[in-house]
């Protein structure tokens, strides 16, 4: 599998005076995915879990599939105009942001080729098999999603101790999805209001206590190849998040502790009595957690960013009881990271970089029967910052996964992603 990406953006800012300024920005991102894969799937003929035999057999037999899905193209375009200003009214200080935005996402892809061309056994080395000779299908538009928004946010200061943030975004959603032949099969048009509110209390200048609530809009998921509605894109979903926390600034460091809860629609491949699957939005996923973080300059030359998060994730109301009552698929109970940037004293602009990421064990199936192991990986590198012909220039050299750790990074109900070996960039 190969990914080719293009990202381009620009921003123009105009200051009317010391208190008011306007900003206009535009961006485009494009990704083209060419997927030529061979993978193991199913192979069970006797003593199977279900009638479809889409699991390995008790003897370790499996079928081998040739999967081809080239030219999978996803393009995002966004334009935004914002007016920011500060003023006093009725004895209160206001920091106002008001603006408008337009976002469009287009997905073009071919119907994937997925053919069985052999079999194997987990106890034997896989044999070589000829690839499928079937011609590639035509590429068609599968999704055209447009969002037009008006937004406003006002940060109100009552005094030196109390502040509140009130605002929201009104979104007009106009989204079309298409089947494998390019025929429209869904047209969603609706208005969605996404509120945002926060309350901040600062008993002293270095300490802040806060609580906030917000709603967000996310694009719907795409049905996997094995689902009865393969390739279909579901309608966008609304998420809700509430958070309360404390932040303390000490010298050049900031320390934060936050409790949070996020709810969103659950999207998954729902099993049926015949052993098949249908990709649906049903029920909800609730993540509740605690996150601790520290960021800033630990010394005059050492800058660090550290965080650790404990997450309890559950799904409910799915209509599939076996998927409920335990940690959600692909969500570890604990995650942690540490990044460091040390400026060397003997050469201005030269710095050493280092980092670590840790993930606890996570379930690899929705029933919670199989889990991958925990892992920790380490990265190192260096950075040199200088100016060439009047332009700021940065050279980087990094080594990811320094100790060449093999681990399961992501998991799904029918797949798991291993990592690449040590990488130099």
pLDDT at 40 over 80: no
Beta strands per DSSP E along 298-333: 302-316
Quickly list H helices, 231-374: none
Per-residue confidence at 10, pLDDT binned at 50, 70, 90?
A: very high
Alpha-carbon distance of 409 to 398, in angstroms, equals 20
Cβ-proximal residues to 192 (8 Å cutoff; 6+ apart), any chain = 170, 171, 173, 217, 238
The sign of the torsion formed by the CA atoms of 15, 16, 19, 25 equals negative
pLDDT of 314-346, one tens digit each? 999 999 999 999 999 989 999 999 999 999 998
CA distance 369 to 382: 42
pLDDT of residue 373: 86
Distance CA 242, CA 214 (A): 7
Strand boundaries in 181-236, DSSP class E: 184-204, 207-218
Tens digit of pLDDT for each residue in 360-378? 999 888 888 888 889 999 9
Kindly list the distances between the CA atom of residue 215 and the CA atoms of 18, 167, 170, 357, 362, in Å, as whole numbers in the listed order.
32, 11, 11, 29, 27
pLDDT band for 48, please (50, 70, 90 cuts): low
Domains of the chain: 77-111+145-424 (2.40.170.20)
């Amino acid at each position: 599998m190969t990914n080719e990406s293009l990202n381009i953006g620009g921003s123009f800012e105009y200051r009317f005076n010391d208190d008011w300024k306007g900003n206009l920005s535009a961006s485009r991102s494009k990704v083209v995915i060419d997927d030529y894969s061979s993978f193991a799937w199913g192979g069970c003929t006797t003593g199977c879990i279900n009638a479809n035999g889409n699991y390995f057999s008790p003897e370790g037999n499996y079928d081998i599939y040739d999967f081809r899905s080239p030219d999978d193209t996803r393009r995002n375009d966004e334009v935004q105009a914002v007016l920011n200003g500060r003023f006093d009214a009725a004895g209160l200080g206001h920091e106002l942001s008001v603006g408008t935005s337009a976002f469009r996402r287009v997905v073009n892809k071919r119907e994937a080729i997925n053919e069985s061309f052999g079999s194997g056994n987990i106890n034997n080395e896989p044999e070589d098999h000829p690839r499928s000779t079937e011609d590639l299908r035509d590429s068609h538009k599968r999704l055209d999603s447009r969002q037009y928004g008006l937004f406003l946010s006002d940060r109100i200061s009552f005094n030196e101790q109390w502040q509140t943030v009130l605002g929201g975004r009104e979104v007009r959603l106009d989204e079309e999805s298409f089947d494998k032949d390019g025929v429209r099969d869904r047209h969603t048009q609706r208005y969605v209001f996404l509120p945002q509110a926060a309350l901040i209390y600062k008993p002293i200048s270095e300490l802040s206590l806060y609580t906030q609530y917000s709603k967000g809009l996310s694009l719907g998921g795409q049905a996997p190849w094995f689902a009865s509605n393969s390739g279909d894109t579901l309608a966008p979903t609304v998420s809700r998040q509430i958070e309360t926390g404390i932040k303390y600034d000490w010298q050049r460091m900031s320390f934060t502790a936050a409790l949070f809860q996020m709810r969103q629609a659950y999207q998954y491949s729902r099993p049926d009595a015949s052993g098949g699957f249908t990709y649906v939005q049903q029920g909800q996923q609730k993540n509740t957690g605690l996150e601790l973080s520290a960021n800033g300059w630990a010394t005059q030359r050492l800058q660090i960013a550290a965080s650790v998060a404990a997450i309890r994730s559950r799904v409910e109301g799915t209509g599939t009881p076996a998927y409920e009552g335990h940690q959600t698929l692909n969500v570890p109970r604990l995650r942690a990271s540490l990044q460091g940037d040390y400026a060397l004293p003997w050469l201005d602009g030269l710095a050493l970089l280092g980092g670590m990421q840790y993930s606890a064990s996570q379930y690899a199936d929705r029933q919670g029967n199989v889990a991958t192991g925990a892992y920790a990986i380490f990265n190192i590198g260096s950075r040199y910052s200088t100016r060439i012909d009047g332009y700021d220039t940065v050279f980087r050299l990094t080594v990811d996964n320094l100790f060449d750790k093999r681990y399961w990074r992501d998991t799904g109900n029918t797949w798991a992603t291993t990592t690449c070996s040590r990488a130099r960039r």
